[in-house]
Chain A
């Protein structure tokens, strides 16, 4: 465990080496929120209630997206793991007494911590600029369960994205293709731009069987108290089930991948 703690510390420090890159990355995250904010701001300029949401509720949702995505979806492993398989630098890790997937998970968590710190700062800045009314659930239990779901969601996100890049074991020239497809779905179907309960009920029911709504929509829905305790627990159980399935599939695919891995890039 101590070696991963060292990896965590080093990764955290490493983020400060490329300060400009990090600041630009955070700036890009704010830009993404701006479109959603102004879109909904315009929609509510001539409507008081849209799909059962008041302006305050929608703005709260948009602002919480910034925090939730900073936690769940910040993952430097996405930009590195595929390349390390393709160019053979994965060898460096295979000969060391360290689990490769655990190593990158640790690095991702270091990045998440830093991203969260910045997201809180940006959130405060945007809050002072736009003064949205932020609703959070009054129930400590709901808030606790929401945070638990956030942790589960970030693990599901990690496993899915690593599963997507594992295709590089078989086609080293294509380490980004499946990841791109996953991120395309993630962009809309996770609830990044709008709360997913705007969708027709049948679509929403179907989406529950995919990992996408667990990334952004459900954590926010629980944190703002949109789901009651019964539904919160149901969503948590579903997320745990998904996490288990993703874990076993990813481990199995990685084991098979490592058997065919030939470090062709070297």
Chain B
């Protein structure tokens, strides 16, 4: 309960900070909407020239893209503080985090949610529900599994961000690693099936962005086998477990060199 109360306080602080400069808030908000809108426009344009792409219809491709944005934006909203972690380490500010009676990992992950993404997320959710209900008509089982798979994707995303934090403690650098994660994620604006092997296998089983972004949509379409669903959950649980182990290891390496 205390943890939730503190996370809520982090969120309020972050919201107040974002709203302290409304024009900038709106500039970023609309820019992000334009970014999503332009790629959607491209997908629609593309399907004016072709009927299907690797067997997927226009509506399915739109759903893939929207679900990618749903998961990606949620992760960015929650874990924005990770992008600021380097300055905490190099300035020695992380010492203050460690001395407080609050989990340093939660502070480092959820200490500054990004509310610009929250506004964008609402629009993405509405668009996804509308298109899924209009064109896909998933069964209740597919819908329940979809939500479970989205939760699993966020679990893998959490694991990755913890890994970045751990590497940040050891190497003092997180910027490029986070951006590589973002670029790898951005590959999944199109379904992982579009990549040929071995790239497809790497993106599914080595850097599991395929599991994170493509599998939830495939569950919604009823196109994912139950074996792959189970494998996804095992992947999610295992990646979180290993990342927490690595976090503990990295904390033992922390030397507070900058303070």
Contact = CB atoms under 8 A, between A and B. Distances in A.
Interface of A: 20-21, 24-25, 27-28, 31-32, 34-35, 38-39, 41-43, 45-47, 50-51, 171, 173-174, 177-178, 180-181, 184-185, 187-189, 193-194, 198-199
Contact of A43 (B27, B35, B46, B176): B46
Contact of A46 (B45, B53, B186): B53
Interface stretch (B128-136, B162-170, B187-195, B242-250): B187-195
14 contacts: A24-B176, A28-B176, A35-B189, A41-B196, A45-B54, A171-B24, A173-B24, A177-B24, A180-B31, A181-B30, A181-B31, A184-B38, A189-B38, A198-B45
B39 interface: yes
A27 B180 contact: yes
A38 B176 contact: no
Contact of A174 (B21, B39, B42, B46): B21
Given A46-B53, A180-B27, 11 more contacts: A24-B179, A24-B180, A39-B190, A42-B53, A177-B24, A181-B27, A181-B31, A181-B34, A184-B32, A187-B35, A193-B42
A119 B27 CA distance: 33
Interface of B: 21, 23-24, 27-28, 30-32, 34-35, 38-39, 41-42, 45-46, 49-50, 52-54, 176, 179-180, 183-184, 186-187, 189-190, 194-196, 199
Going nearest first, the 10 A-B pairs with the smallest beta carbon separation are A42-B194, A24-B176, A188-B38, A31-B183, A181-B31, A184-B35, A177-B27, A174-B24, A35-B187, A42-B54
Contacts of A189: 38
A35 B176 contact: no
Contacts of B199: 34, 38
Contacts of A25: 176
B50 to A, nearest CB: 5
A174 B34 CA distance: 19
A28 B179 contact: yes
Among A25, A28, A50, max chain B CB count under 10 A is at A28
A117 B24 CA distance: 37
Contacts of A178: 27
Contacts of A39: 53, 190, 194
A148 B30 CA distance: 35
Helix, strand, loop or mixed for chain A's interface? helix
Nearest to A193: B42
A35 B180 contact: no
A198 B49 contact: yes
A43 B38 contact: no
Among A28, A31, A34, A38, max chain B CB count under 10 A is at A38
A13 to B, nearest CB: 21
A24 B174 CA distance: 12
Contacts of B176: 20-21, 24-25, 28
B53 A38 contact: no
Given A180-B28, A188-B38, A46 B50 contact: yes
A32 B49 contact: no
A152 to B, nearest CB: 25
B17 to A, nearest CB: 11
B34 to A, nearest CB: 5
B196 A38 contact: yes
Contacts of B46: 43, 194, 198
A177 B23 CA distance: 10
Given A32-B183, A32-B186, A50-B50, A185 B194 contact: no
A43 B47 CA distance: 10
A184 B50 contact: no
Nearest to B27: A177
A177 B28 contact: yes
B39 A188 contact: yes
A46 B56 CA distance: 11
Given A28-B183, A177-B28, A187-B35, A199 B45 contact: yes
A27 B176 CA distance: 10
Contacts of B184: 31
A130 B30 CA distance: 38
Contacts of A194: 42, 46
Contacts of A47: 49-50
Nearest to B192: A38
Contacts of A50: 49-50
A166 to B, nearest CB: 15
